[in-house]
Amino acid sequence: MSETEETPDSHDVGKLVRWHEGLLGGTEVYFPVCALFLASGEDRLAHDIFRSYRSVFEELGAGFHDLIIFGQHGMSTTCTALMPALGLPDLQVPSLVLICRGKKSGLYTANLPEGALANLQEGEDCSRIPWQPALETIRQSVVTGSELILDGLQGLNRADFPRDTLVDIIGEVRRLVESV
């Protein structure tokens, strides 16, 4: 491998730096959630779900720092460091972590299945797939300007925000992985 070839670690550290700087800079448009995907290079389904979120988030005016994926090119040090820093040391990969902002801040996680994206048959119940109702709830919150409430969505697991702010936690992970 040449010195200029990008590795999963260098790719994800670059994204982590950009994410941290985006969070530090704030945003012109308030967005009620940060969606974080943790995956490995083989998790094609997680990548497809990320693309679904990206389409909707772009449509709603979200910034780069509102939607991020780590591990896209292989499991990375950044991906593994984020889990304990967010208070989720036992989180399975691939997973979706929704970090709510505002009065009801908190974390919601959903395990994402591995493999190819399954096509749903017409009329099939999508509520069993937690990322879909969560995405629709986020869309409705932004469109209507209402508070984002993810409590009660089947398949989402709530966790308390571990400490500090998201900016502080990401800054801590950034210092850790940049020193490796």
Distances (CA, A) of 98 to 5, 7, 79, 149, 179: 32, 26, 15, 11, 27
CA distance 104 to 101: 7
3-state secondary structure of 131: helix
Q: Which two tokens stand for residue 141?
A: 């919150």
Domain ranges of the chain: 8-175
Distances (CA, A) of 179 to 13, 85, 100, 132, 174: 11, 16, 29, 37, 8
Nearest to 85 by CA among 180, 5, 177: 177
CA distance 94 to 51: 14
Nearest to 26 by CA among 66, 81, 74, 60: 66
pTM of the model: 0.87
pLDDT tens for the 180 residues of the chain, in order: 444 556 768 889 999 999 999 888 865 567 899 999 999 888 888 888 999 999 999 999 998 899 999 988 778 899 999 999 999 999 999 999 999 987 667 899 999 876 555 544 444 444 457 899 999 999 999 999 999 999 989 889 999 888 778 889 999 999 999 887
